[in-house]
Structure 1
Amino acid sequence: MADSATPRTADTVAVAFSGGLDSTALLHATIRAAVDEQRVLAFHVHHGLLPEADGWAAHCEAVAQELGAGFACTRLDGAPGRGDSVEAWARDGRHRALHDMTLAAGADLLLLAHHRQDQAETFLLQAMRGAGSAGLAAMPRAQWRDGICWARPWLDQPRALIHAYALQHGLRWIEDPSNGDARYARNRLRQSLWPAFPAAEAGLAQAARWAQQAHDLATEVAAEDLAGIATPERLDLTRLASLSPARARNALRAWLAGHMQAPASLVERLLSEWRPGLTASWPAPGGEVHAYRDGLFWAAASPQPSQAEVVDLARPGLHFQPRWGGAWLVEAANPGIAAQRLTRLTQRGRRGGEQFQRAFGTVARSLKKACQEAGLPPWRRSGPLLFDAAGQLVAVAGLGMDARAFADQDEPGLSVRWLEDSALLQSEGAAPKPA
């Protein structure tokens, strides 16, 4: 058992340590397998859900000290809301706490004590929820997330072997009374499935491995199909439709996954409802997806202020507007707008009747017409708009500066350009932030 505890060499190895049988055995085996000056840390998450939790934290600290591991504990804040899943709340909070403790310790390897029975249960629960290949793949042996490798070195080991290891080494562990609570689906499986079908564990775990391979293959195919038809900002729906139905569905699901956890119903609606030339929108988790000029676009939900506000853009840099979901990028430019004209701007949404002049020598057009001519999608036409102290339109998000606001040719000027949230990561280094 000890040889399989550490999947790779690292200066510091963290172990998620609940104090139960599995994590106690994993911590012991990891310490025995540590090499040279390798440091082993035990991280405990105090959920605060049961009266025994304080005693469990003390037990874990004592055991870690006995075994020669460092120890850290995080207590979760708050509690599940009414109607929330206690299991989901605890799982999400535990993941955040383990992530933060691992980074704080300067480690990038976190070991989890999941074993073959856990894998089989996860596969079965996902299947009962109607999951696809990604869900049926259950838990990966190792996965990098946010700078940390979450590794499960015992994923193929039966729990009986772990139990025998703990007895052999005289380990002591916690028995969580909630493990017998039949209100939780995983506990019901343990109480009914395994006693009735003891051989099912190995078969279900094997099925999860097949699902993982199928998912990996689907991911590779999607990457190839999307390479020529998509960017993170736009998916070419005409070219998507040229794929076979299975590959189109797979590619669309992969593209949406870059923005949200897309429900299967959304994938099916997009494929069945879109037709060439359609302009339409579909609600999605965290925002909307839009079909426009035969492309598919994602727009995150961004509640916009109903009232006008005053902003100062007289200095170069990124001027963040979180309530609008973006920022104004101000840079020196010629032609540009005089700095004094940008000191007190009114920022608001469209109200109707605004006119915009695209360039010198052109005719001012209605803002709606200007947006159409520029190919600005309908969902990006609401603003923000900037007006100077005299009420003259200065700039429009997505269109740029109004030519009527430009300074004289020999006068120093500033350009004003709107950046959506999706573009900020690429352009934050483009200019200094204002002091």
Structure 2
Amino acid sequence: MHNPAVEKEFDRALEAILTRVFRMEDAKASVSFSLKESLKNARIAIAYSGGLDSSVLLHLAHRFAIENDCALFAFHVHHGLNPHADDWLAHCENECIRLGVSFDSQRVQIDPQSGDGIEAEAREKRYRALGEMCRKHDIPLLLTAHHEDDQVETVLLQLMRGTGVAGLSGMEASSHSPELLGDETLFLGRPLLSVSRKELASWLVEAGITHIDDDSNDDVAYTRNAIRHRLVPVLEDLFPGFQKRLFRTAQHAGSARRLLEEVAKKDFEACTSGKNSLNLEQLRLLNRERIDNLLRYWLAASRVRMPSTAWLVQAREQLLEAREDAQIDLILDGYTIRRYRQNISLGRTVESTGNQPHPLEIQWHGENRFRLHQWHGTLYFEESETGFDIDWLQRRKLRIEPYRGSAKLKLAGRPTKTLKALCQDRGIPSWERQFLPLVFFEDDLVYVAGIGISASRLKKNGKCVQIRWERDT
């Protein structure tokens, strides 16, 4: 007889996850929500390694799929790190064939010399492969077999790293994880998060289900294994049942994290001054704790790896306290935070080699965009009531040249000015100017990205096209 408590908790947790996933999908379609109706012909996948935890997940999800008339997929990632990896792949595929569960697998290459370590490298490659298989099979929800003991180990690991509230909250029951799965729409669900490893092992024995044993799980050279086999037994001896209490601590921290995110979102709305920019005058109205909270929220929204507290404090001091004419460039995880006048901006770091983009020619034949790789952005061509005359534009070859501040442009109703003056008028900082493309027809400057169209080529009625420049973010 299976432990009904495990099955009951799995069903409860999975229904909560599915409700979140499909309610959002129904909201986008503007239809009333019914979980029972949404599950019909729905597609759900699990990450299946063949180990104890994922074997329980496979069988619980299989039962749930049959009862609710939805399609179940199992995805396996072959890391190539263990000599038994081929046998594990065969075991997983055969088990899925026996159950009638759709199966897919993907092999990944792990770099043993990775600077982040084998654990981090394998995790990154594994989730990336799982995300790719979800997209291949049109899966909106991927389930993993993380359980209560995994949550405890995660919180302990984060605690040893000096983490804040976000780290102490551990793993969420359901979330988007685009940095892991490479997809902003795909959900990651953990329906076994409140079930212990001991309960899963007992359920598996009672069910008579076979599974593989990965001997690397006993290698205490890996940090998480060391926590599991060395630290947790000591804590259990000193504080029996501490796992449940630490699990509750993670839940409390999760509540605090969500509250901080709400505060940060409101502060962001008050301080934002454009795409990926914050206004310093508004920022200075906040206390230090709220500024740090907002900066973390701002960085996380751009998927920038979270910096240390010391880095964040130093960045705040430089951004807010440096003299007004100081040039602030803070490099972080492939991004640069810069200050210009009363704004700070965040953008991808562009390597400066001292070489300007090379001129090139384009001819518009109705395309909606031209990608300009050297300038790190895109020119969009959009129909409008004002702008370039369509017939004129289609018959002309245009030349794209790099920015030069001495070039001159006359905008409609404005005097002729140098581009340097026009950029200063619009608050375009110097580091953005070097990647503003200039559009020429023969020797005439007819358009400047971020500034506008020359008055000599502006048509105010009829069939027209506006050019719009958008930088990479």
Task: Normalising by structure 2, report the TM-score.
Answer: 0.80
CA gap 1:163/1:299 in 2 versus in 1, 3 angstroms: same
Please name the residue that 2:26 is paired with: none
* Equivalence map 1:224-373=2 (5 Å): 224-230=266-272, 232-259=275-302, 260-263=304-307, 264-273=309-318, 274-275=320-321, 277=324, 280-303=328-351, 306-316=356-366, 317-331=368-382, 336=388, 338-339=392-393, 342-350=396-404, 353-359=406-412, 362-363=415-416, 365-373=417-425
* Contact in 2 for aligned 1:342/1:388 (Cα 8 Å): no
CA distance in 2, matches of 1:101, 1:207: 34
Aligned residues: 419
Secondary structure class of the residue paired with 2:296: helix
Please name the residue that 1:433 is paired with: none
Does structure 1 residue 214 correspond to structure 2 residue 256? yes
CA distance in 1, matches of 2:386, 2:193: 62
Secondary structure class of the residue paired with 2:104: strand
Secondary structure class of the residue paired with 2:162: coil
CA distance in 2, matches of 1:385, 1:144: 36
Secondary structure class of the residue paired with 2:172: coil
Shift of 1:60: 0.8
Please name the residue that 1:17 is paired with: 48
Does structure 1 residue 168 correspond to structure 2 residue 206? yes
Please name the residue that 1:30 is paired with: 61
Question: Per-residue CA shift, 1:25-47, capped at 9, x if unaligned?
Answer: 12122223331423322211111
* Contact in 1 for aligned 2:155/2:250 (Cα 8 Å): yes
Does structure 1 residue 401 correspond to structure 2 residue 453? yes
CA gap 1:285/1:227 in 2 versus in 1, 3 angstroms: same
Please name the residue that 1:56 is paired with: 88
Does structure 1 residue 191 correspond to structure 2 residue 219? no
Please name the residue that 1:4 is paired with: 9
Question: Per-residue CA shift, 1:198-242, capped at 9, x if unaligned?
Answer: 234333322222211111111111122223222543212212211
Give 5+ residue unaligned stretches, structure 2.
1-5, 16-34, 178-183
* Contact in 1 for aligned 2:356/2:434 (Cα 8 Å): no
Secondary structure class of the residue paired with 1:5: helix
Question: Per-residue CA shift, 1:232-283, capped at 9, x if unaligned?
Answer: 4321221221122222221222122222234134432332121484553322
CA gap 1:94/1:203 in 2 versus in 1, 3 angstroms: same
Shift of 1:66: 2.7
CA distance in 2, matches of 1:174, 1:387: 63
* Contact in 2 for aligned 1:334/1:413 (Cα 8 Å): yes
CA gap 1:16/1:314 in 2 versus in 1, 3 angstroms: closer
> Which has the larger displacement, 147-156 or 72-81?
72-81
Give 5+ residue unaligned stretches, structure 1.
423-435
> Which has the larger displacement, 37-46 or 263-272?
263-272
RMSD: 2.8
CA distance in 2, matches of 1:80, 1:391: 56
* Contact in 2 for aligned 1:137/1:211 (Cα 8 Å): yes
- Higher helix fraction (1 or 2): 2
CA distance in 1, matches of 2:95, 2:446: 67
Shift of 1:376: 1.6
Question: Per-residue CA shift, 1:285-315, capped at 9, x if unaligned?
Answer: 2221122231221122245863523121434
* Equivalence map 1:90-239=2 (5 Å): 90-145=122-177, 146-198=184-236, 199=240, 200-230=242-272, 232-239=275-282
> Which has the larger displacement, 95-104 or 158-167?
95-104
CA distance in 2, matches of 1:409, 1:18: 63
- Sequence identity (%): 32
Question: Per-residue CA shift, 1:328-379, capped at 9, x if unaligned?
Answer: 22346656374278414142243x643333346623x333222112322222
CA gap 1:413/1:214 in 2 versus in 1, 3 angstroms: closer
Letter in 1 for 2:411: R
CA distance in 1, matches of 2:439, 2:62: 65
CA distance in 2, matches of 1:152, 1:412: 54
Task: Normalising by structure 1, report the TM-score.
Answer: 0.87
Shift of 1:110: 2.0
Please name the residue that 1:428 is paired with: none
